[in-house]
Amino acid sequence: MPVTDLKLLIAAAQAAGDVARQYTGPSAKVWDKPEGAGPVTEADLAVNRVLEDTLRAARPNYGWLSEESEDDGARLTRERVFIVDPIDGTRSFIEGSKTWAHSIALVEQGKVVAGVIYLPMRDKLYAAARGMGATLNSTPLKVGASNRLNGASMLAAKPNFDGKHWRAGEHPGLVRSFRPSLAYRMALVAEGRFDAMMTLRGAWEWDIAAGALILTEAGAAISDRDGESLVFNNQAPKLPGVLAANPVLHGELRETLKPGAVI
């Protein structure tokens, strides 16, 4: 039942925030993960522990996929799976910035049915349950109404704007901004603060699962970089990019990008 599960996700996100706030990024222990997977801190692991304890104790039959847990593949046999990024925006956390988020989703047979993105230092809690809309701190969310790419605000990393990705050899007059958490970039589009977001790079499921539902429930269209629907809990939990905007802008974005554009 999505509403009950969403309440659980919200409670877990708040518990995660309480733990994360006990650390200050610049003084937390930090080390590099193997294979160039980037930095991780003791706070990422502490948040992962509280999320796993809270969520798995409440729903022992659900599977588990987290950026900071070893993946033994057991989730592939479960009907429902938690997909979690304990801290999205770890580099920002380490720098002492407030722009990082807990990203928590529940997936049922490949579809996200509940999702929460919580920025504890900014007091912003985005939440959605399938078919029941999306909210920010309990206020309903709606994606922006802009229908022209020229002048549209786009959250994306700089390499996405390289001319080689666009049919016309240049991007169509988009105005680029960036925030250091991919989950937050998705939430900001759901909120209508930006018109669109995109990443042509492969995206880990834990970065985008919660955001995908929050966007859809706010009225956005979302796909991978080739326009395909996002399906979660894959054996290799990485999807080929993300494009999201209102349905008109999303359609235009797809037509304007070169097929097969990838960073």
Name the residues that contact Ca ion, by CB under 5 A.
67, 85, 87-88, 207
Closest chain position to ligand IPD (CB): 182
**x/- string (CB under 6 A) for ligand IPD, residues 141-170?**
----------------x-------------
Residue 158 gets which letter from DSSP? G
CB atoms within 10 A of CB 244: 30
What is the nearest approach in angstroms of Ca ion to the Cβ of residue 241?
A: 15
- Do residues 189 and 155 make contact, with C-beta atoms less than 8 angstroms apart? yes
Contact between 224 and ligand IPD by CB under 6 A: the answer reads no
Per DSSP, the three-state class of 222 is strand
Minimum CB distance to ligand IPD smaller for 135 or for 160: 160
Minimum CB distance to ligand IPD smaller for 208 or for 253: 208
Q: Is 24 exposed, middle or buried, given 0-12, 13-18 or 19+ CB atoms closer than 10 A?
A: exposed
Q: Rounded to an integer, what distance in angstroms lies between the CA atom of residue 215 and that of residue 198?
A: 13
What is the nearest approach in angstroms of Ca ion to the Cβ of residue 96?
A: 17
Across the strands, what pairs with 242? Answer: 199
Minimum CB distance to ligand IPD smaller for 38 or for 173: 38
Going across the sheet that includes 221-223, the strands are 175-177, 153-155, 196-199, 242-245, 221-223
Stretch that binds ligand IPD, among 58-66, 87-95, 136-144, 187-195 (CB under 6 A): 87-95
Instruction: List interacting residues with ligand IPD (CB under 6 A).
Output: 38, 67, 85, 88-90, 157, 180-182, 207
